[in-house]
Amino acid sequence: MSHWQKIRDAANALRSEICAANNLNENKLFQAQQFLERSAEYLELEFIPEHPDSVNLSGALAVLEDDCVYFNNHLKKWYKTFCIAHEVGHHSLHHRSVHCTQNEIQDFEGEGDSNSATEKIVGYGAGDRREREANLFALELLLPCAVLRRTFLEENLNARQISDVTQMPIEVVAGQLARALLVPNAETETTETRTEKLELNASQKRAAQTTKCPTLVYAGPGTGKTQTLTTRINHLIEKGIEPKRILALTFSNKAAEEMRERIGRINETAAAQMPVMTFHAYGLDILRAFWVEAELDPRSNLLDKIDALLHLEKNLNHLQLEHYQSLVEPTQNLAAILGAISRAKDELCSPEDYRILGEKMLTEAKLTDNEEITLKAEKVLETARVYEFYQKYLDEEKLLDFGDLVYRAVRLLKENESVKTEVRARYDAILVDEFQDVNRACGVLLKEIAGNGKGLWTVGDLRQSIYRWRGASPANIELFGVDFPDAETVSLETNYRSRSEVVDLFAHFANKMKTANDESFNGWEAFRGAAGTENLSAVKVEIAESLNAEAANVAANIEKYHAQGLQYKDCAVICRTHAQLDKFAKVLSEKGIPVFYLGELFERDEVRDLLALLDLKVSAGGHSLIRVAQFSEYRIPLDDTRKIIAAQKENKQTFSEVVGQEEFFNLLSDEGKPGAGKLLKHLTSISNDVSAWSFLANYLFAESEYLKFYFASDDVNNQSKRLAIYQFLRLAQSTEARFAVGEVAPIMGLLNYVKKLAHFNEDKNYAQIPAEAENLDAVRLLTVHSAKGLEFPAVFLPYLGAGKIPSNKKGQICPNPDGMITGETDFHESEEECLFFVAMSRARDFLHLSRADKYGETVSKESKFLTALAELLPEPTQISSVETAIADTALVETYPSQRFYSTDLDRYLRCGRDYFYTNVLGLKSIGDKSIYLKFHSCVYDTLRSMQSMKQIERIELNEQTALARLDEFWQAAEVDAHAYASIYKERAEEIIRRMCRKIENLVAPNEITRPSYEVKLANGTVHVQLDAVEIVEAAGEKTAVIRKYKTGKSPKKPSTDDVDILMTVAVRDEFPEATPLLQKIYLSDDRVQEIPISAKVIANRLKIYEAAIDGINKRKFEPAPSDNNCAYCPHFFVCPSGDQKA
């Protein structure tokens, strides 16, 4: 049971006592103020109203002193009630006097842990935690979840009616209702560890009771690390150290919460008093305690990643990017730059240090005349400029980003001896968990607060270091003996989790790993012994014909285990990526196996429903109606839907403005009017100026029947959908204040924010699973990172093909400066080994290792990690596909040959769903083409004009004339209205100036500009347009030069797009006497790349276009999710809904 559920239980226990003492039915809701008056009598508390300027309040909203609660009597009635209930929470939970300001009494989310992206990672200190506990207690006391659920589902009272009964705002009621209705009931089962409570073995006792600190404990998987750690804490307390003087630090907020809960199981007093937090939360505590010395404000705000990116976007014109400037998407590389800055802070590298390292690199590169290193150095210096600009903004505004919390705390301790002395004096013992997962800055912070290490006890395992990609530093463990010269090391020697066959396997792999390659390592003793059965061998290797066969085999094995007594939740499928998990989730669900997997939150159907609904309320685009019209309570026919969308676009009006006109409404069909009218009522029941949370609270819990479908059954699928809705509602609720004031309406602000989260992959922070959901009996689908720290009786590791794991190494967009990172710099291979090691070691009883011979059309060899285990692995089982394709020529459909534009087929190849929305349903974007396309057109039109002026009009061309012509095209295209117009204008003028100096090369007397040709394929004809083509004759040979102008810079390696092959074939057919030659001209760096194309490449690429035409004919419009494209697609909130048969 989670800590926060215990707070809820405490509130409900008090409520039950008050009801019993007053002869009240505890299953009923009460008017909140009246119930608090009964609480005062029962608790013998006195509630005393005060003027806001009262000395008793001293600026607070409410104060608890002994048996008195003083409160600001000038607050709104409901808020006054909540403030008093908050103090009742302090009285019941903390038994201490408190002064609570608005900062402390403002969380109505109905959840203890924060839903802020930054705070989810950082965590919070003891003071903030107490206030959250009091807030949660107050909510549950006044609006108990169990009673709300019964009232809503059984008495059919909606949120508005409940609000009338309790006299609490509908949004506050809805927040509790969301928890009550959408999260599994915590009473069904408590979440306890499976690990048996055993006597400590010799190595654990040596670690837990050592007096030779500093100590580093090597704790391999399943070796009883947690039991050893909690025993260590008890040992310290028994030796006379007060719990409040024992500091426990860990890598993540989740890990800190788990540590606190496990300490609480053996010593609740210690858990309540001990400071247990992340390194970043501890850094924040230091900075807030010594804010004057740190040159900050008392409560300097935390800047999350999205806000940081938005600041850089807003100032993009000032950043003067060169290497990182993308004309297609100007902000494309900002996240990578911000990541490089964060990495610098992980290594305690200041903006000045970063620049100096870059300058050193550049000097050395020029001495050796190395172009590659020169480019790398220039990129480092460009990052350094952005780093300096960004850090100056943080310092001037007294803001902190995630990296600052440790970086600035270390700087403060290093520069201020008195602060360091005071901090060191606070604790007699420091414990660190998961030491392998923290960055080098955390390691230095530990050294600063621990001094010589007396009292320091750390635990970690380099083989489980799977977070190096975000800064985790193996150097902390590798240099532990350097940082703390008198350090002792202890290794935990017994694995209590897994069968010996599994232990032997990952121990064998451990011996071969680059990380922690210790010649003295002899593996772990398996406490549980061998599996002891031939029918159910502990380790299996399976090779399938295809991905579908591999997934079907996993499903069959799960069903076999289920039939033999395992629960579904005892089985886990662990993959490298979410994209891999999606495929297995689909197959398992199709075979009726319950699956618990939320995946990417914003890609779930039920979340897209709510996003589309919000978009429809405020947007004039109308696209989202395609999705909302299909809601079960509306069912607006497609013809009516398209009619409404067309009217929205034509008039640039919202759905409500269009359908609200009686004349237009009467044009709808009889079948469409009821649904359209009901939707109109729902959308207009609350104004457009409210927050997304307020609108959704009213829509879901007071107005519509949307949630009704998800309560039709309590199967795992529906519970997963309800959880996803809950997570999205928490996002809307927690960000409400963020969009209260801004340039756009609050709902539009949230929609834009969601797109940013999706684009930068930050949505994962909003998809963390409540502890209560862990008891759902369903197969777990997990990435290796999310499986860390968990264990399951049966574990399936599929996708073990070459290139899948270890994954192919990706190049760095922003290279780190040489000399910045302590220890290893090329960690890809090591981290991939650690991922595989962690994945294998999750298995208790059964481990299935599988791969397919082919993934899609690609033949796949086995992963080299499997090869490394070959001598211990059993003979693989070959799995054949159970699906047989039957060819029946009588059923083969033929389609009439059609004419397509190459641009449309390219759209289909990028994403079939985009083609469906754009080309089939006609959902074109409002407004003109993107600024990049406008820029490209202006440059290209100017270029053509320059050629015409020189060749036809015989006008003497100079730079001034060319730039004037550019400006004419620029003004006509209205480019200056865009925020980044100056960036594009500067680049356009640069290109035109360069072209002026080379105008003779641009004038080809026989060149044909903008020609259009058609290519006949087996199943259709494709129209393709070229930039230019010229027939050149030399030595009696004719060449058809196909010129393709590109406004960007040339790539290192020439490459071809699919459309290049169409152009080549078109020219070949049009000019059979000439040999085609593709010539790409890059206007930003004056480079020309000539690309020969073989007959084999042509044949293969034409098949791609034929397959696209075949897919369109067969109405196959599958979405193609992409991190780079989806968030900015005009159909983002709609996809993948819609009637494909339209």
Q: What is the 3-state secondary structure (H, E, C) of 640-688?
A: HHHHHHHHHHHHCCCHHHHHCCHHHHCCCCCCCHHHHHHHHHHHHCCCC
Mean pLDDT for the chain overall: 89
* Alpha carbons 681 and 337: distance in angstroms, whole number: 46
What the block records as the tokens of 995 is 């072209």
Q: How confident is the model at residue 1002 (pLDDT cuts 50, 70, 90)?
A: low
Split at pLDDT 50, 70, 90, the class of 951 is low
What tens digit of pLDDT does each residue of 314-330 get?
999 899 899 998 888 88
Q: What percent of the chain has pLDDT over 70?
A: 92
The phi and psi torsions of 750 (rounded to 5 degrees) equal -65, -40
Residue 795 in this model has a pLDDT that exceeds 70: yes
pLDDT at position 856 is 82
Fill in the DSSP letter of residue 917. I
User: Where in the chain are the domains?
Assistant: 3-183, 209-296+405-492, 305-397, 525-598+772-879, 601-771
Beta bridge partners of 62: 71, 100
For 877, phi and psi rounded to 5 degrees? -95, 130
Q: Are 33 and 55 in contact (CB under 8 A)?
A: no
Q: Which of 197, 217, 198 is nearest to 208 (CA)?
A: 217
Region 77-97 average pLDDT: 93
Higher pLDDT among residues 1047 and 888, named by residue: 1047
- What would the mean pLDDT of 898-918 be, rounded to a whole number? 92
Please write down the HEC assignment for all residues of 953-1009: CCCCCCHHHHHHHHHHHHHHHCHHHCCCHHHHHHHHHHHHHHHHHCHHHHCCCCEEE
pLDDT tens digits, one per residue of 138-163: 999 999 999 999 999 999 999 999 99
Which range, 554-563, 710-719, 730-739, 1051-1060, has the best average confidence (pLDDT)?
Answer: 554-563
Three-state secondary structure call for residue 531: coil
User: Rounded distance, CA 1056 to CA 1089, Å?
Assistant: 11
Is 525-598+772-879 in the same CATH topology as 209-296+405-492?
Answer: yes
Q: Which residues contact 245 (CB under 8 A, 6 or more apart)?
A: 426, 427, 428, 429
Rounded Cα distance, 97 and 66, in Å? 6
pLDDT for res 691: 94
Helix (H), strand (E) at residue 938: helix 931-951
Q: Between these two residues, 109 and 631, which has the higher pLDDT value?
A: 631
Q: Is the dihedral of CA 1081, 1086, 1088, 1089 positive or negative?
A: negative
119: pLDDT confidence band, cut at 50, 70 and 90? low
224-233, 449-458, 881-890: segment of lowest average pLDDT: 881-890
Averaged pLDDT, 999-1023: 81
At 1052 the pLDDT is 83
Q: Is 970's pLDDT higher than 70?
A: yes
pLDDT in the model for residue 1008 = 85
How many CB atoms sit inside 10 A of residue 821's CB?
Answer: 20
CATH code of the domain made up of 209-296+405-492:
3.40.50.300
Q: Is it the case that residue 887 has pLDDT exceeding 50?
A: no
What pLDDT does 326 receive?
86
CATH of domain 601-771: 1.10.486.10
3-state DSSP assignment of residue 1066:
helix
Nearest to 319 by CA among 381, 237, 375, 370: 381
Q: What pLDDT is attached to residue 895?
A: 67
Mean pLDDT of 73-77: 95
Residue 769 DSSP symbol = P
Q: What is the largest CA-CA distance in the chain?
A: 108
In this predicted model, which residue has the larger pLDDT, 116 or 346? Answer: 346
Give the pLDDT of residue 891: 44
Examine the pLDDT at 926 and tell me if it is beyond 80. Answer: no
- Which range is least confidently modeled, 203-212, 327-336, 468-477, 1090-1099? 468-477
User: Is-contact 629 668, C-beta < 8 A?
Assistant: no
Residues of the chain with pLDDT > 90, as a percent, come to: 63
Which pLDDT does position 912 carry in this prediction?
92
Q: Which of 89-98, 466-475, 628-637, 915-924 has the highest mean pLDDT?
A: 628-637
Nearest to 152 by CA among 26, 326, 29, 239: 29
Which of the residue ranges 470-484, 727-741, 1097-1111 has the most confident prediction, judged by mean pLDDT? 1097-1111
Per-range mean pLDDT, top range of 14-23, 262-271, 989-998: 14-23
Average pLDDT over residues 949-963: 74
| Residue 269 region by backbone torsions, left for phi larger than 0, else alpha for psi between -120 and 50, else beta | alpha
Write down the pLDDT at residue 929. Answer: 63
pLDDT at position 193: 42
pLDDT recorded at residue 955: 64
Q: What is the DSSP letter of 876?
A: P
Residue 653: Cβ within 10 Å count: 17
| CATH placement of domain 525-598+772-879 | 3.40.50.300
Q: Per residue, what are the HEC states of 357-406?
A: HHHHHHHHHHHHCCHHHHHHHHHHHHHHHHHHHHHHHHHHHCCEECCHHH
Reported as a pLDDT band with limits 50, 70 and 90, residue 815 is very high
pLDDT at 836: 96
